[in-house]
Every structure is written in structure tokens, then in C-alpha cells.
Chain A
Amino acid sequence: MLVVGIRLEACQPDSLGQVFPQDSIRLDFKSLTSGVEAKMSSKMPSSNNIAQARRTVQQLRIEASIERIKVSKASADLMHYCGEHAKYDPLLMGIPASENPFKDKKPCTIL
């Protein structure tokens, strides 16, 4: 079930005097189905709920069975990766103006 919360905000026309109705409505489009499901599971068990519960247990069995490595090793590996790639990361190292495709190039006048 999709329940959409709607809140009207002030709607200003743009410079061309156009108004887009969508802009005036702030949609909280996230549905409330999760609330509905929680309510359903507290009722008398129907075959639907049993099927759902079986699926949940099946999924948990899969997740319980995986191998896990230590956080110390995981962290060290992530740090190592960052360290190895840092020198190639333009946003970390900075970009020389001549190699920056987004920088506006100002024309040079030769006097």
C-alpha cells in the first residue's frame, strides 16, 4: 500500500513566470508498508505469515554460515588500498590548472 504524505510549500514562479506544480508539493513518497507488515505479523498466523517466517529463517541460515575475517585485517586492507591509490586520486592530490578539464580557460592576449 502506497501512502504518500503531501506537504504544500510556497510556490514561486521562476524568471519566466512559469510555475511547476510539482515544485510546490514536497512529496514524502516513502510508503508506510513496513508499518503495515509489522501489524500483520501480530495477528493469528495465516499460511502467508508462516511462508514469510520460513523464508526469514532460510535467509538467516545463509547469513549465519558465512566466513568472517577480523576487523583488524579488514581495516588494514582498506588502509592499504587507500595508501596505494592515493597518489592517483586527483581530488586528494590536487589538479594542476593545465590538466583541469573543468577549469574555465581564460584567453591570453599577446601584446
Chain B
Amino acid sequence: MGEMDTLKKEADGLKAQIEAARKAVNDTTMAAVASGVAAAPRVQLKNRKTLKGHLAKIYGLHWSADNRHMVSASQDGKLLIWDTYTGNKVYAIPLKSSWVMSCSMAPSGNLVASGGLDNMCTVVNIKAASPKTLRELDAHEGYLSHSRFLSDTELLTASGDTTCCLWDLETGKQKVIYKSHVGDCMCLAVSPDQNTFISGACDSTAKLWDIRDGGCKQTFIGHTSDINAIAFYPSGTAVITGSDDCTLKMYDLRADQEVNGYQDAALNAGVTSVSLSSSGRLIFAGYDNFNCNIWDSLKAEKVGVLSGHDNRVSCIGVPDDGLGVCTGSWDSFLKIWN
């Protein structure tokens, strides 16, 4: 047998072994376990604020750790930083490339990052006398789909080149490269303890990574199309993924498998974005069909809907204090609900 055949045989054997091990612990379903839990109340959230100012499709939003400010990115070529309590724009940052796909704010509130089809992640210091570009992180060979700061000195990025990367912002160089996906990486989320992060890709898998050593610890399968959105459960022991296959899934990290699925035969729009309420009970999912559905994460039932946008909901976020949820849309508006 040639080496290629031997390797293929071993790979198939290991995949079968993993599947068997997952089956062996699959002694019940989350739905069965949660049947005794009281239903979540029918959630009726009102649109409290509409933030107007972008002139084109919004592709990303990220709340500040101060629960009040927020950064949003639009293909009108601007990053806007909002004071969501007043609805005022605090900063407007013009982008070199208007093909932006994502944005994020550092926990300190000092830095924002954005990137897209320019394959770069641009980091801007918004607390300088006037907003000033700190770094242009330029090593990915594909578009930048997502970024998240660990601190003012470290940033994680996900790229269409199928890799994710940890950058040292003091030097502008790559510290760790996370390679294992075989499709464009579309999203990432950092664990509450900041030791691991999870990525979702166009190869329909989600992968859990050790931030420091770059190793892929676990791979979650089950989706049948691109995973566009991913979020950690606040406990840090599960992740929620949203996909072009129109479903969301909950994967438990310790059981190493899917434990719940959120789908509806009537829904045939892909999921673009996902965020959770502070207890994890409610999942907010944005879809291609202009709505945001609210799911009970335990019972897998739809418990509400946020409708009001005139185009695809492209991004969603809940601030750390859980006091509201913000949706961003291709209709150029951001809406805050609670």
C-alpha cells in the first residue's frame, strides 16, 4: 500500500473512532432534559433607538466593554463610534478601503479594528488627539472576515485564506497562525476565560483552538453549509453556530458534539449573525430574510422576533451587561431593542 492509501485508511479509522466515542456519550437529548424547565416568557422587545448615519450596507457592529459605546462598519467607507444612550456619533473614521466586512473594539475602548476585501486589518487609536492609524496588519492572503481584541496588544483575526491569526500589536507581526480549516474562515469568538477561541468556516465546521499554542483541540461537524456566525455560551462550555443551511446549532465542548438544533421548516433563509442574552437562555439570530428570530436555547423553540429592518440583518450584538440587543442591517440602520 502506498503511503497515501495508508494515511487515508488511518484517517477513516480515526473518524469512525471519533463518531463512535461521540455516540457512546449521547445518552439523551437536550430537548428531553429541558422538557421539565419552564418555558421562557414570550419575549417582546421594543425598538428603543434607531441609529442613523451610515449611507450604505452595514457589515459589522461591536459593543464596547463599557456597555454604552459601539463601533459599526459600513461599505460607505466609514467606521462610526456611537454613544448608544444618546444616539450621537462620537467619532467617524474614514477607511482606506470601503470594502469592509467586520469591525471590533478593544476592551479598553482605546482601539478599533476593521478589515475586509483589502486582506488587511487596520487598527486605529480613537483616543489619540484625532483618530490615528496604529497598525496595518498585512499578512493574510485572503479577505478579513472577523477580528476580536484580546487586549490593546493582541488581536485575533479570521480570514478567507482559511486561517486565523493572533497578532502582536506592538510589532505588527503575526504571533500564532491557526491552520486547519479547509474553507474560508467567516467568524470567531473568544472564550470567557480567554484561553481558547472558536472559529466557523465555509467548510461547514467549527473548530476550537488553544490561543497560545495554536493547536486545534476539537472540530464540530453537522452543518451542511457555511458557518457565518459563532458565539460562546456565557458558561464557556458550549458554542452556538449559525449557518447558510438556515439552522443554528449548539455544540457542547465537553460532550464534543451537537446537543441542540434550532430550525424551522418555514425558515429558508441563511443565518448571518448570532448573539446571546447574558444568561444564555435567549439566542438572537439574524437572517437573510430581514428578520431576527429569538430562540429559547434550552427548549429550541422560537420565542420572539425582531422585525423592522428593510434588508438583511448582517450583524447582532448584546453588550456585556445584557441590557439590550443591537441589530445592524444592509438597510444602513442600527436598531437597539429591549
Does A associate with B in a complex? yes
A72-B142 in contact (CB<8A): no
Q: List residues of A (74-111) whose CB comes within 8 Å of B's CBs.
A: 74-79, 81-83, 85-86, 88-92, 95, 100-104
Q: Are A37 and B323 in contact (CB under 8 A)?
A: no
Per-residue CB contact flags for chain A residues 48-92 toward chain B (1 = under 8 Å, else 0) read 011001101101111110101111111111110111011011111
Size band of the B side of the interface? Answer: 35 or more
From the candidates A34, A78, A88, name the one contacting B252 in the complex (CB within 8 A): A78
Question: Which chain B residues lie closer than 8 Å to A104 at the CB level?
Answer: 48-49
Residues in B neighbouring A5, C-beta threshold 8 A: none
A20-B259 in contact (CB<8A): no
Contact assessment for B322 and A31 in the assembled complex, using a CB-CB cutoff below 8 Å: no
How many residues in A have their beta carbons less than 8 Å from beta carbons of B? Answer: 55
By a CB distance below 8 angstroms, the chain A residues around B160 are 2, 29-31
| B245 interfacial contact with A, CB 8 Å | no
Q: Is the CB of A45 within 8 A of B2?
A: yes
A82 x B280 contact (CB < 8 A): yes
Residues of A within 8 A of B252 (CB): 71, 74-75, 78
Question: How far is it, in angstroms, between the C-alpha of A32 and the C-alpha of B297 when the chains are bound?
Answer: 33
The answer to whether residues A75 and B34 also contact, given A102-B48, A102-B323, A102-B336 and a CB cut-off of 8 A, is yes
Q: Is A31 a contact partner of B45 (Cβ separation < 8 A)?
A: no
A74/B338 contact (C-beta < 8 A), A29-B117, A30-B202, A31-B142 known: no
Offer 11 A-B interface pairs, CB within 8 angstroms, sorted by A. A2-B143, A29-B117, A56-B11, A68-B22, A68-B24, A70-B255, A71-B26, A79-B34, A89-B278, A91-B322, A92-B40
Q: Report which A residues bind B (CB closer than 8 A).
A: 2, 14, 18, 20, 22-23, 27, 29-31, 33-34, 37, 45, 49-50, 53-54, 56-57, 59-64, 66, 68-79, 81-83, 85-86, 88-92, 95, 100-104
Q: Which 3 A-B pairs have the closest CB atoms?
A: A85-B279, A89-B279, A60-B14
Q: B residues engaging A (CB < 8 A)? A: 2-4, 7-8, 10-11, 14-15, 17-18, 21-22, 24-30, 33-34, 37, 40-41, 43, 45, 48-49, 55-57, 68, 75-76, 84-85, 98-99, 101, 117, 142-143, 160, 162, 180, 182-184, 186, 202-203, 215-219, 226, 233-235, 237-238, 252, 254-257, 259, 277-282, 297-298, 318, 321-325, 336, 338
